[in-house]
Amino acid sequence: MLSCKDITEQASEYLDKNMSLYQRVQFRLHLAMCHGCRRFVNQFKTTVSTVNKLEPEKVSEDVIEKQVQALIKPSPPKE
């Protein structure tokens, strides 16, 4: 029997359908008995679906360079 931790670790594989029949049966059996994991998998599925609908933002080379420099440059010490 899978644990709740197993479900959270394998949720992506389950949604991507990268599991054997035996693994999917075990996964679904746990979901049938565990309301918390059902909720987690549904929320995870919604999140993945939403992120996949987002379009990449076009950013100019200038903005990228400024961000890189800001990451490289050490910030002044806080008082």
Which DSSP string corresponds to 15-74? HTT-S-HHHHHHHHHHHHH-HHHHHHHHHHHHHHHHHHHPPPPP--HHHHHHHHHHHHSP
Low-confidence ranges of the chain (pLDDT < 50): none
Listed by start position, the domains of the chain span 1-52
**pLDDT tens across 8-28, in order?**
999 999 999 999 999 999 999
Q: What is the pLDDT at residue 70?
A: 86
Name which of 27, 56, 52, 55 is nearest 41 in CA terms. 27
Specify the pTM.
0.68
